[in-house]
């Protein structure tokens, strides 16, 4: 098989890249190790920046998002038992869209299927070859038959644990990582959200987040120990602890119900650089991870896709220079988002072994933030998403 771009990974970044390339007349094949049901079963982010919304519009997959998604003009910070609203729209002229990553993936899958574009699921033993030569290829095993895809370029959209970054020689890549000493326990439940906008809670018992996926489905998180296991947390224990971290009036409004999904995720900041190795390009979680506090993971993957799509569109139009700058352009935005996510995480969480001075500094930072329009604007412009440079 021969194609112009072989895309490894059928998550939202791989599918979005494939959709945009196809709209530009660039042939591509998506190769995914897992089944479609497995891919859709992964519960992930749900806050989309305007740049991501615009990219989904360009890809022609945004109709359902505009019908069912929830535009949010603000976000709340809660500390000292009080809620404080950050007016995103008033401070920046921009808003965010609450629409689950699962739904984004579902829309992209449907569009790819309707267009009859080449997609291989449940591909075993996927490997990338000769990406430092003029003849890169991808091989995989399907139904006990070995297949090879010849391509001009390979897009590694296969996540943090994928084979693309792992295939790069160690001497050619630099890895930067910070692992946080806690995790997030997340619960998805079919109950109305406790608030029409997200609430980020800084509390002496630990961070909490009240989020949502629709007007009838909520996503809640609690900071927990890395040693915790999901089995330790009954639904009742989760709801009781969430109520302890919320202001009394908010806790009284909280509607609870059985969890339809419950999981614990560790938090890390991670960047691999560069993001191009000959004909191989890293995209999304293959190149970077952010703690979810700043709602940047999916949005950073989407901006990578935008930069790579633009570069490949120019390449096939006869302008080869833009593809040389993909890594530098993407990393410039990535490091700013890493900084924001690290700052939000440091501001809102309880750190083990942090002394009273560190706790006082957190409170002073929060007090300053809410007392300064300039500081609130900085938070707001980062939260809604920095422009694509």
pLDDT band at 274 (very low <50, low <70, confident <90, very high): very high
Q: Which of 12, 72, 221, 307 is catalytic?
A: 72
Is a pLDDT exceeding 80 seen at residue 43?
A: no
**Residue 269 bridge partners (DSSP):** 178
C-alpha span between 381 and 92 (Å, rounded): 6
- The pLDDT value given to residue 42: 78
Q: Identify the residue whose tokens are 């939202």.
A: 12
C-alpha span between 12 and 33 (Å, rounded): 14
Q: Which of 262, 288, 296, 313 is catalytic?
A: 296
Q: Which of 140, 220, 315, 383 is catalytic?
A: 383
pLDDT band at 41 (very low <50, low <70, confident <90, very high): confident
Is 383 marked active-site? yes
Q: What are the helix (H) ranges across 85-170? A: 88-92, 101-114, 163-166
CATH class of 2-50+97-177+270-352: alpha beta
Judge whether 330 and 304 are in contact, CB under 8 Å. yes
Judge whether 243 and 251 are in contact, CB under 8 Å. yes
Q: Which of 292, 313, 315, 326 is catalytic?
A: 292
Q: pLDDT of 356-380, one tens digit each?
A: 999 999 999 999 999 999 999 999 9
pLDDT band at 9 (very low <50, low <70, confident <90, very high): very high
Is 296 marked active-site? yes
- The pLDDT value given to residue 281: 98
Is 72 marked active-site? yes
Is 262 marked active-site? no
Q: Using N-to-C axis directions, what is the helix angle for 373-384 and 326-348, rounded to 10°?
A: 130
Judge whether 286 and 158 are in contact, CB under 8 Å. yes
Is 38 marked active-site? no
Q: pLDDT of 59-97, one tens digit each?
A: 999 999 999 999 999 999 999 999 999 999 999 999 999
Other C-beta atoms lying within 10 Å of the C-beta of residue 133: 10
Which residues, 6 or more positions from 113, have their beta carbon under 8 angstroms from its beta carbon? 119
| Domain layout of the chain by residue ranges | 2-50+97-177+270-352
When the pLDDT of each residue in the chain is averaged and rounded to a whole number, the result is 96
Q: Which of 200, 220, 315, 326 is catalytic?
A: 200
């Amino acid at each position: 098989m021969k194609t112009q771009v072989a895309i490894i990974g059928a998550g939202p970044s791989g599918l979005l890249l494939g959709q945009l390339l196809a709209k530009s007349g660039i042939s591509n094949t998506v190769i995914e190790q897992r089944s479609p049901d497995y891919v859709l079963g992964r519960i992930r982010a749900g806050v989309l920046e305007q740049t991501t919304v615009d990219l989904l519009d360009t890809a022609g997959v945004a109709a359902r998002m505009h019908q069912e998604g929830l535009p949010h003009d603000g976000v709340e910070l809660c500390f000292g038992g009080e809620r404080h609203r950050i007016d995103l729209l008033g401070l920046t002229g921009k808003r965010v869209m609450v629409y689950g990553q699962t739904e984004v993936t579902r829309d992209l899958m449907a569009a790819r299927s309707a267009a009859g574009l080449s997609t291989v699921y449940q591909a075993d033993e996927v490997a990338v070859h000769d990406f430092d030569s003029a003849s890169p290829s991808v091989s995989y095993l399907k139904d006990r038959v070995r297949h090879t895809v010849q391509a001009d370029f390979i897009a590694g959209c296969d996540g943090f644990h994928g084979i693309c970054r792992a295939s790069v020689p160690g001497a050619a890549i630099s890895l930067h990582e910070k692992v946080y000493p806690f995790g997030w326990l997340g619960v998805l439940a079919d109950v109305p959200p406790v608030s029409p906008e997200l609430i980020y809670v800084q509390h002496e018992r630990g961070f909490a987040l009240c989020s949502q996926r629709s007007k009838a489905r909520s996503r809640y998180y609690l900071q927990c120990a890395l040693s915790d296991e999901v089995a330790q947390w009954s639904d009742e224990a989760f709801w009781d602890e969430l109520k302890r971290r919320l202001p009394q009036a908010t806790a009284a409004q909280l509607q609870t119900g059985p969890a339809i999904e419950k999981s614990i995720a560790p938090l890390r900041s991670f960047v691999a650089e560069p993001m191009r190795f000959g004909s191989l390009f890293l995209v999304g979680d293959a190149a970077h991870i952010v703690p979810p506090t700043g709602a940047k993971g999916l949005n950073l993957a989407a901006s990578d896709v935008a930069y790579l799509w633009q570069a490949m569109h120019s390449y096939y139009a006869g302008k080869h220079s833009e593809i040389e700058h993909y890594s530098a352009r993407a990393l410039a935005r990535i490091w700013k988002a890493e900084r924001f996510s690290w700052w939000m995480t440091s501001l809102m969480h309880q750190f083990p072994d942090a002394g009273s001075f560190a706790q006082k500094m957190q409170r002073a930072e929060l007090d300053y933030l809410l007392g300064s329009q300039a500081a609130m604007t900085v938070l707001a412009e980062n939260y809604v998403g920095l422009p694509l440079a």
